[in-house]
Each structure stands twice: as C-alpha cells, then as structure tokens.
Structure 1
Amino acid sequence: MRGKKEPPLVRLLDKTIFDTQTGCWEWTASSTTSGYASFTVPGLARTAHRAAYLLMVGPIPEGLHLDHLCRNRLCVNPDHLEPVTQAENNRRAGAARTRCAKGHVYDVANTYIRSNGARDCRACNRERQQARYALIQIERRTAA
C-alpha cells in the first residue's frame, strides 16, 4: 500500500478494482453514509468519483453534478460519469428505480404519475389510507 505522498491519481487507482463485466471501477476503500466512494484530494473533492473526474477529465462545469450513468455509486470510472443539472440527475435516478421504498414494484397497475411528474405507489397509498381510516375509527370509539 502506498502512502499519502503518492500522486492523487495513483492513490485513487490503488483503491479500485476493475470489473470487466460492467466496466465499473469499483471503489474498495471507505464510503460516505449515502453510499458514495469517499476520497479526499486537498482542495479538490471529498468523493472519489468527483476526484477521478477532476484528475482524468478536468473541471466539472459550474452548477453541474456528476451523474453515474452505470447507477453504481461506488464506480469511479470517468467514462461512467456525466455532468448534468441536479434536476436531470434526480430525474434519471427516479426513472432507474423499479420499486418504491417499501419494495412494491413500479408497474402499470401499481404506479400513478402526479401532476409534477413524480411517481407514486398505489399499494403504499392504499396502506396509508387504510391506516388513516383505522385511526379515525379508533378515535370515534374512544370519543363515544
């Protein structure tokens, strides 16, 4: 293992494994609580994918975020990163989800689109409505 005196790119690549099937450069060192590869280049970046892009491609355009095209937060392959707006990054991330937070499948029968374009899970909505109805019934019984 090399020390911190090594160039940042050498340090970064020492902490990756190359996945020949996906083309991802998998980060093997520490990660943030949100699942992104954690790596610091003084004055440049706190996440490895941003450091990799800065070191191998160049500056990230002002106001843009790096989108993982492979949807793998631990990937630091600059070919898998694209500078996009935050709104576009959020849209892509949402479109890539196939299940809601509770695990219900987003399919034609179980999904509705809100007026703002966001998807909602019909099963979760039904569960919320049933819980509200049950609470109202309990409140009515205790008030009587």
Structure 2
Amino acid sequence: MARSVETPCPIPNIALPCWVWQGASNRGGYGFINVKHADGGWRPVLNHRAAYMTLVGPIPHGLEPDHLCRVRLCWNPWHLDPVTRLVNVRRGIAPSVSGTSMRAKTHCPQGHPYDEKNTARRGNRRHCRACDRDRARRNRKRQ
C-alpha cells in the first residue's frame, strides 16, 4: 500500500475505491512488482495478479483477471473478475477497435435501418442509402 493511492472508482456501481499503483509499470500500463520465486530468482509479476492470488485465492486455470473498474494500475483484488480471454477482450476497448460496436448498430445516426435494402457497402464500410440519396439531393440543389 505504500506505493499506492486510493482513488474513487470511476465506475459508479463499484463502491470500493481503486488502489492505484504508483510504482513501476509495463508497456501495457499494468503495475508490476518483483517476486522471489522458488528457484531463488526474482521475476516481475503483475501486481493485480499477485494481490488477487494473495488476498482472494488462485486464479483458475484458463482464466485471467479482468479489471471491472477499467483502471489498469488498480490492484484492488475486489475489482478483478477472473474470466476467459475472449470475455476480457470483449469487455475492454476491443469492441471499438475491432468494429464489434459498429456492427451491433442497427440504424444509422439519422434513424434509417441498416437492412439489406438500405445498406450499401464500400470496401469494409457500410453506408445508409437513404442518407446517401439525401446528401446527393442537397448537393444537386446547391449546384
């Protein structure tokens, strides 16, 4: 706790504060500590994993801790949920990066449906045909 700061959790339904690590962090933004292993050597371990294993219990095989608070430097074990890699990725920023959140949209920003009749594809992107027609109409009127 000496290298941490308690801050309110940014997620409203999590009552416990984040324990934000002020020590060393890796390129991914996760804090780590050096731990002495059975062979006598010291190796870095992500501090949120070490905290979970020390205060809660072992992380089940095939699962990884997901930060429910979305704060990578938080090492509060009660903010961690052991989940599969797929669940962890889907909960994180991946939907915005991979396009999952865009594919989940059923209507364009103007409210027209993204259905087979009203959707045009250009490359990897989809476009609303109704909006394209409205835009072309406005351009012709302007010219």
- TM-score over 0.5 (shorter chain): yes
Structure whose residues are more often strand by fraction: 2
Structure 2 Cα separation of the partners of residues 20 and 88 of structure 1 = 25
Partner residue, 2:35:
41
The answer (yes or no) to whether the contact 2:21–2:31 under 8 Å persists in 1 is: yes
- Are the aligned partners of 2:9 and 2:69 in contact in 1 as well (CA < 8 Å)? no
The aligned amino acid for 2:51 is A
**Distance of aligned partners of 1:88 and 1:71 in 2 relative to their CA distance in 1, 3 Å threshold:** same
1:17-59, Cα deviation, whole Å (9 max, x unpaired):
1113541100000100111011122239611100111111111
Please give the alpha-carbon distance, in whole angstroms, between the structure 2 residues aligned to 1:69 and 1:21. 10
> Structure 1's 45 and 65: CA in aligned 2 closer, same or farther, altered over 3 A?
farther
Show the counterpart of 1:78: 77
C-alpha distance 56-45 of structure 1, shift in aligned 2 (>3 A): farther
Instruction: Tell me the residue number matched to 1:90.
Output: 89
Q: Tell me how far apart the structure 1 counterparts of residues 85 and 97 of structure 2 sit (CA, whole Å).
A: 21
In structure 2, the residue matched to 1:3 is: none
| Shift in Å, 1:100 | 4.7
- Residue 32 (str. 1) matches residue 20 (str. 2): no
* Change in CA separation of 1:60 and 1:21 when aligned onto 2, cut-off 3 Å: closer
Report the AA paired with residue 69 of structure 1.
Answer: L
**Larger Rg, first or second structure (1 or 2):** 2
Query: CA, structure 1 residues 100+60, in 2 after alignment: closer, same or farther (shift >3 Å)?
Result: closer
For the pair 1:65 / 2:64, whether they are aligned, the reply is yes
Quote the residue 1:16 is aligned against. 4
Q: Which has the higher helix share?
A: 1
Aligned to 1:118: none
Change (3 A) 1:88 1:45: farther
User: How many pairs are equivalent?
Assistant: 98
- Identical-pair percentage: 43
| Counterpart for residue 113 of structure 1 | none
- Alpha-carbon displacement from aligned partner over 1:56-83 (angstroms, at most 9, x marks no partner): 1111111110000011110001110010
Given the two structures, how large is their TM-score scaled by the length of structure 2?
A: 0.56
